[in-house]
Structure 1
Amino acid sequence: MTLIGYADRWEALPGEELGFKVSATADYAARIVRLRHGDTNPRGPGFRAETVADIADRLPAGVQGIDLGSYLRWDPDADFDDGAMMAGLSLWATLPGPDEQGLLCRSDGRGQGYGLYLGADGAVIWRSGAAELRSEPIQPHRWHRVAISRDRDGRIELIVVPQAFVPGRQEHRFVQQGQPAAATGPLLVGAAREASLYRPRGGFNGKIGDIAIVAGRVDPATMAKLAAGTSPDAPAIRWHLGIEVDGRRAVDLSGFDRHGEVVNRPTRGVTGARWKANADRYVDAPDEYDAIHFHADDLEDCRWETSFRYRIPEDLKPGVYAAELRSGDERRHVGFLVTARPGRATAPVALLIPTVSYLAYSNEALEPELLGALTPLRNRHLQAEDYAYLAEHRLLSLYDRHDDGSGRCMSTIRRPNLTSMNPLHRCRLYDAPHQLAADLHLVDWLEEMGIAYDVVTDHQLHKEGAALLRSYKTVLTGTHAEYWTAPMLDGLEAYRDGGGRVVYLSGNGLYWVAALDETGDIIEIRRRGGSESWKAAGGEAIISLTGEHGGLWKDRGRPPQRYVGVGMASQGFDRGAPYRRTPASHDPRAAFIFEGVDDELLGDFPALTLGYGAAGYEVDRVDERLGTPAHALVLASSTGFSDSYQYVREETFFTTPFDGGTVNDEVRSDMVYFECPEGGAVFSVGSISFCSCLSFNGYQNNISRILRNVVTHFSRA
């Protein structure tokens, strides 16, 4: 791959500057384009973009690397005397090998110093200079207590104690005499060394906790305490990892304020060696959560150098843009959004771009064969070079797993994103656009209809709340607005009930609980109870950034039906279906929606997603028990889904053969309209595929007409 890159932010206001970070093996050209349509399917309008600015005809090549791995680092102060020292920690390894992994190390960057390591075979290794002690291989996914010591004459000692009973292996003690070894550089937990600042080597996979270090002396009584996991007297460092789990600090309780820095956002708020399986929230029992789950493939920031900058002109129209990079025959788009200034609407319509969902799906690399016969359109050859790059550099999404099998619960903006912000992306599960590429179906339609609109984002809604939306008569969602934070839900509800009009053009929306860090660049989730690709471990369903329960908003008492009238019913990957109008569609309250539409079947024609039908991929249904207003009109419901569409697991109490689209009436997409206080209203389509039908027949079709009727009516004073 010749070109890869990312912007330092995904959104910017007019007048602000964006930096673009590029890794290129050859010289390249760059320009800024306004994106209108990305889908290259020949049945649609094709790729549409307009040049806004030329950056340079030739920018120099420069390859930028990616250093993965989370760890804890501390730069020793002048009073820290580790010529003689003892340390104890609890260890829960998940993936030994293929190389040594650093547990607690201090070296000069070339490996000179001391270190506690996990060997490739699973042995615990204590090395000081040329002296080395090695235990037998430990059992992965089991807690062990490890204690080490080194004295001034070179003697080292290692004790390994499994927490669970293992016949004949309750305590291993090893002693060796060597030469004294000097140690310089930072003290690291979870990595062997740093090639340079924040660029780790020898990353660890697993949990480490209960860390205590005694410096300046070695004595048998303290060593016994460290081996037993009891508090030593006068420690030089006592890092408590169950405190301040939302931040980047490892809190030191020694009294010396030797707080460590936690790098690359490992998973925090996880159960430790003392967890009793009674508490399920770290705030209720911090001592039982005194651990961090480190991963050798964690990443918060690639820390690439900026390759070029672009200042957004003050008069640039809000919209979807990209830096288009070209080298030879290769073309790469680095997407970004130019948003309207909060409170300064330039149009009556706002397009709410689901950037939080983009962040969750960033670099999604689920195997196309994952769902087998349910995905007949799968195509593993799509974006082959892109996926090879993602695999090589392990830049995966919240749908994927870490190398050690644990679920990825954090994702970052500060890295290349080859899927959800890529206008040419096609999902391998069903060979069609997803996220930004699918939302451009809607952007293209707005442009074609001549409807003036502003772009606003999930991130802005999270920060500004309802105040962001109140400048607009109408707010349109994207096609897959799945991940929502609590402030986002609060803002949407307040806008709607304050007279705002919402057009929900998504399926499987308002579904997962998400949280953002203080910068907005990091998302965190904990999967539990929904249609999921991994599940949070017991006691670990609480989001570390906020302390709130993860999982589904439905299980938090905030189902999507409460906000937009419909909620997740099913997903399928073979073919969409049309809607059939109901008698309620002829209610005078809905007359404006169907003006000029006489058809009983809606969207009964080709689509750019799944090939056919306006209802499809992931679909939502009404349910008064979950909050659909009693006065809501169900205007149309889909018909004709196959058994590729299965009723969602969170609504199924028993596994039966009767949950497919051919037999279960709950497997459907409902089109809904209802009024809200102060003149507010909601129109929902409950289908990801809906917008992929808008351009059919030169935009002259009943789906396009219905949406235009709704947006036009909602946008009036």
Structure 2
Amino acid sequence: MPGSTHPLPPHLAIELPGLHAYAGAVSVAAGSAIGFHVSSSVPYRFSLSRVGPDPDDASLDTVVHADPAWQPEGVQAIHPGSYVWIERGLQGPLPSFTLECWISPWDFGDRQAIVTQLDDASSHQGYGLLIREDGSLEFRCHGPDRAGCLTGPRLAERTWAHIAAVFEAGAMSLWLNGERVALGTGPSLCDPGPAPLRLGAQGMRGVACGFLDADMAMPAVHAAALDAAGVARRANLRAQRSDGPGLLACWPLSEGRGARVTDVSGQGRHGEIVNHATWNIAGPAFDAARVPRFSAGMGEHDPQSEATRHGLRFASDDLVDCRWTETHRVSIPIDVQPGLHVGRFEFELEGREVRYDATFVVRRAPAAEPAPVLVLCATNSWRAYASSPFARNVAGAAHWPRRAAPLPNSHPDAPAYNHYTPHRKGQPTYFAGLRMPWPNAATDAFYAPEGTGFCQGPRLERHLHAWLERNGYAYDLVSDLDLHRDPSLLGRYRCVVINGHSEYWSAPAFEGLDQYLCEGGSAVVLSGNTMYWRVSFDEEGTVMEQRKTLTPPDEQDGALPKHAAPGGPHGEQYHSQDGQRGGLWRFNDRSCSDVIGLETAGWAFADADDFGVYRVHDAQHFLYHQPHETGLGVGDTFGHAPGGALPRAIGHEWDLSIATLRRMTHHVPEGAVLPAPHHGIQVLAQGIRRVPGAMDAYLDFFEGATESLGGLSAEMIYWERPQGGRVFHAGAVGASWVLGVDEVFGLLLRNVLHHFGVQPT
């Protein structure tokens, strides 16, 4: 039921104006087919193209397929909001019962359902425990003779509370943390009615709505009306036990993964999660101090065995799968060259000509001879930054604000969150669905700071692709998901190039790259903030998970700041997809510097002056001279347009060696270890930023704020690893940006490829 292969129970629908689309796969091999899923309120023309060398000139793109006519395909609705659907509700009439659970609400402003078997279209059947718009509790019971509605006090945001709603032969009461807070009258009997039982939603004319924005633990329904002692005993258990006589239903929410929610009462009221929700949250009795901050440590290896983690987080805008039907299917010719491709939709909206591109990767045909070079597309990062998947259509290239802030939405209730902006009520965003539009990944889209022409996504990565083609280098292209699924594919290539903003890496990809290098492989890293966060994927490869949690300076006396993004509370690092610890790779006892020599050291989001340049450090290094003479001497600059103009490579985010980070780390937190410098790293150049920005952040190894060393922001290194393999690392997100405008950097890169056994054809 919660996945795309199961029917969705009746659910509140949102119809989107304009056109929105996604490809059916992140990547596809030449010679196979790819589908597109489109929702459109306007007629449009569809084509498929391999993008050309200029993101601002689509006439240079190669058209692979085109439909000759405009086609109105129609609107496909979205259905956001997570909850648990339980087909078998209570049977009645009921002379007595008790609803109880633990709740930590995130925010208010909308009517929210906690536990209901209720349809608001029926005035004489059903029951429910709800939260009103102002945050106050509401308990409703409907019976043959009358309806009862009891109001309780306002709940506190982001604070666990035990709630019990008791009904007994006309008497209704509400209890909060073991104390009675409201008493009233209701029907003589409660008639549950035919509506399904729902956790985190209610019904309206048979359609799920009123979605909950809260964390929930240990919901249960007792046949008896618990007395004061019984309610107090349940509250004191802190949601760690599910005992008690006469249970009509009890869901400990201890699964920790998957879509099934088990009823342990013996009554068979098992549930299915709709729209994913979030497992492995910090429950009412959770002790975050048990979880080490700066290493995987001991004592918290198996979150499923820790009862204090049991619970489920709901969000009214949860959505990881649009569930749209396929509207177009195109066969990719087997002789198409690997590269970035788009499904292109052109239409007129409000008198404006609009182009909407759905980006995907075409890999080389399986039977074709591999190229010498493999280029990795940072598709995990594109997905992590995909705010406003249903953004309002715009004419021309979209410009995404700094820190992936949302663009204006096509519908006010459509989800807009990503891994850098929270859910509507402030919940941290741990999941990103791949069956969703990602207009931020359009190959011409910009990314802040405005006025620089900079982008961290496909627009940036295209600079390398175009440079390789102009200089006669054959290359293959794969996505992050391809590498996650088959790390052994690296072994077919003389050299792998990590390009752009390659920030999010799964364990198979991380370990696969290390193994490839240990076996003598070579890596060119034209990226910054590289291999920073650990991600995982579900079995189908359609949902990406990461677990960012707040650092001590972000936390306020153990409570989350209002609408803090993107981190959740410390202790929620453990993934629900594989049970392993997530967060930063360096705090999982696996620093990326052990693999590629450098670690993330900071970021900036200012303006055009924010971007710096490389300054030659070791002018005698052979890579400056063989086989192409660069003519660079000590102190000379490169990595910029002529005269030091934009584009300039050093900005946005950058990486430094452990040796340098040690000089910037002035405090080692308790329980942490500062790693030793790596042997054999040769620094070719230093990336210098002389103009401080208002949003600069220089970080030490433990993510603490520190100062730059005279503007040193990045290091360009060559490393023959003692464990095997060779690495050239440019240390900055903008490294590819200058290719094509800086001939000297181009010569240096040609020398690197030559040294790694790659020649132009």
Normalised to the residue count of structure 2, the TM-score between the two structures is 0.81
**Which residue is equivalent to 1:119?**
132
**Is the counterpart of residue 106 in structure 1 residue 117 in structure 2?**
yes
**Which residue is equivalent to 1:57?**
69
Structure-1 separation of matches of 2:43 and 2:710: 57
Structure-1 separation of matches of 2:134 and 2:644: 48
Structure-1 separation of matches of 2:278 and 2:644: 35
**Which residue is equivalent to 1:166?**
none
Structure-1 separation of matches of 2:539 and 2:494: 30
1:423 Cα shift?
A: 1.0
1:642 Cα shift?
A: 1.9
Change in 2 beyond 3 A, CA 1:388/1:117: same
Q: Secondary structure at the match of 2:81?
A: coil
Change in 2 beyond 3 A, CA 1:51/1:81: same
**Which residue is equivalent to 2:177?**
162
Q: Secondary structure at the match of 2:30?
A: coil
1:55 Cα shift?
A: 3.2
1:383 Cα shift?
A: 12
Structure-2 separation of matches of 1:264 and 1:447: 43
**Which residue is equivalent to 1:21?**
37
Structure-2 separation of matches of 1:451 and 1:414: 33
**Which residue is equivalent to 1:144?**
161
Structure-2 separation of matches of 1:348 and 1:271: 48
Q: Secondary structure at the match of 2:91?
A: coil
**Which residue is equivalent to 2:221?**
213
Change in 2 beyond 3 A, CA 1:235/1:342: farther
Q: 2:50 aligned to 34, 49, 68, which one?
A: 34
- Percentage identity across aligned positions? 25
CA RMSD of aligned residues (A): 3.4
Q: 1:309 aligned to 304, 329, 334, which one?
A: 329
**Is the counterpart of residue 356 in structure 1 residue 373 in structure 2?**
no
Q: 1:556 aligned to 585, 588, 595, which one?
A: 588
Structure-1 separation of matches of 2:550 and 2:626: 36
1:182 Cα shift?
A: 4.6
**Which residue is equivalent to 1:370?**
none
Equivalent residue runs for 1:442-521 within 5 Å: 442-465=464-487, 467-521=488-542
Amino acid at match of 2:38: V
Structure-1 separation of matches of 2:460 and 2:688: 23
1:295 Cα shift?
A: 1.1
Change in 2 beyond 3 A, CA 1:104/1:401: same
Change in 2 beyond 3 A, CA 1:414/1:631: same
640-649 vs 493-502, which moves further: 640-649
302-311 vs 283-292, which moves further: 283-292
Structure-1 separation of matches of 2:116 and 2:303: 30
Change in 2 beyond 3 A, CA 1:452/1:537: same
Note if contact 1:318-1:339 (Cα within 8 Å) is conserved in structure 2: yes
Amino acid at match of 1:157: M
**Which residue is equivalent to 1:371?**
none
Change in 2 beyond 3 A, CA 1:648/1:256: farther
**Which residue is equivalent to 1:186?**
196
**Which residue is equivalent to 1:368?**
none
1:314 Cα shift?
A: 3.2
**Which residue is equivalent to 2:462?**
440
Q: Deviations over 1:584-603 (max 9, x none)?
A: x4234x36657221123343
Q: Secondary structure at the match of 2:371?
A: coil
Amino acid at match of 1:579: Y
Change in 2 beyond 3 A, CA 1:526/1:187: same
Q: 2:701 aligned to 651, 661, 674, which one?
A: 651
446-455 vs 531-540, which moves further: 531-540
Amino acid at match of 1:213: V
**Is the counterpart of residue 76 in structure 1 residue 88 in structure 2?**
yes
Q: 2:251 aligned to 239, 242, 258, which one?
A: 239
Note if contact 1:576-1:614 (Cα within 8 Å) is conserved in structure 2: yes
**Which residue is equivalent to 1:405?**
426
**Is the counterpart of residue 606 in structure 1 residue 641 in structure 2?**
yes
Structure-1 separation of matches of 2:654 and 2:632: 21
1:225 Cα shift?
A: 6.2
**Is the counterpart of residue 336 in structure 1 residue 347 in structure 2?**
no
Amino acid at match of 1:142: T
Q: Secondary structure at the match of 2:655?
A: strand
Note if contact 1:131-1:178 (Cα within 8 Å) is conserved in structure 2: no
Amino acid at match of 1:433: C
Paired positions, count: 675
Note if contact 1:442-1:691 (Cα within 8 Å) is conserved in structure 2: yes
Structure-2 separation of matches of 1:70 and 1:238: 19
Note if contact 1:144-1:160 (Cα within 8 Å) is conserved in structure 2: no
**Which residue is equivalent to 1:636?**
685
Segments of structure 2 that go 5 or more residues without pairing to the other structure are 1-16, 292-299, 390-398, 555-564, 663-674
Structure-2 separation of matches of 1:500 and 1:580: 28
Change in 2 beyond 3 A, CA 1:406/1:224: closer
1:52 Cα shift?
A: 0.7
**Which residue is equivalent to 1:415?**
436
Structure-2 separation of matches of 1:358 and 1:616: 18
Structure-2 separation of matches of 1:345 and 1:564: 27
Change in 2 beyond 3 A, CA 1:429/1:59: same
Q: Deviations over 1:175-199 (max 9, x none)?
A: 4225653522321111123777xx7
Q: Secondary structure at the match of 2:38?
A: strand
Change in 2 beyond 3 A, CA 1:384/1:551: closer
1:202 Cα shift?
A: 0.9
Q: Deviations over 1:630-658 (max 9, x none)?
A: 222211112343222845334378756xx
Q: Deviations over 1:594-616 (max 9, x none)?
A: 72211233435339999342332
Amino acid at match of 2:601: A
391-400 vs 528-537, which moves further: 528-537
Structure-1 separation of matches of 2:620 and 2:471: 26
Change in 2 beyond 3 A, CA 1:187/1:472: same
Note if contact 1:498-1:677 (Cα within 8 Å) is conserved in structure 2: no
Amino acid at match of 2:611: G
1:61 Cα shift?
A: 4.3
Change in 2 beyond 3 A, CA 1:534/1:604: closer
Normalised to the residue count of structure 1, the TM-score between the two structures is 0.86
Q: Secondary structure at the match of 1:97?
A: coil
Q: Secondary structure at the match of 1:262?
A: strand
Change in 2 beyond 3 A, CA 1:30/1:712: farther
1:307 Cα shift?
A: 2.0
Change in 2 beyond 3 A, CA 1:177/1:474: same
46-55 vs 703-712, which moves further: 46-55
Structure-2 separation of matches of 1:274 and 1:200: 31
Amino acid at match of 2:153: E
Q: 2:730 aligned to 678, 685, 698, which one?
A: 685
Amino acid at match of 1:267: T
Segments of structure 1 that go 5 or more residues without pairing to the other structure are 164-168, 366-377
Change in 2 beyond 3 A, CA 1:708/1:353: same
1:670 Cα shift?
A: 1.2
Note if contact 2:120-2:203 (Cα within 8 Å) is conserved in structure 1: yes
Amino acid at match of 2:176: V
**Which residue is equivalent to 1:273?**
284
Q: Deviations over 1:331-358 (max 9, x none)?
A: 1001111123679653111111122222
Note if contact 2:41-2:75 (Cα within 8 Å) is conserved in structure 1: yes
1:29 Cα shift?
A: 0.6
Amino acid at match of 1:620: D
Change in 2 beyond 3 A, CA 1:135/1:507: same
Note if contact 2:102-2:160 (Cα within 8 Å) is conserved in structure 1: yes
Amino acid at match of 1:320: L
Structure-2 separation of matches of 1:523 and 1:386: 22
Structure-1 separation of matches of 2:377 and 2:496: 10
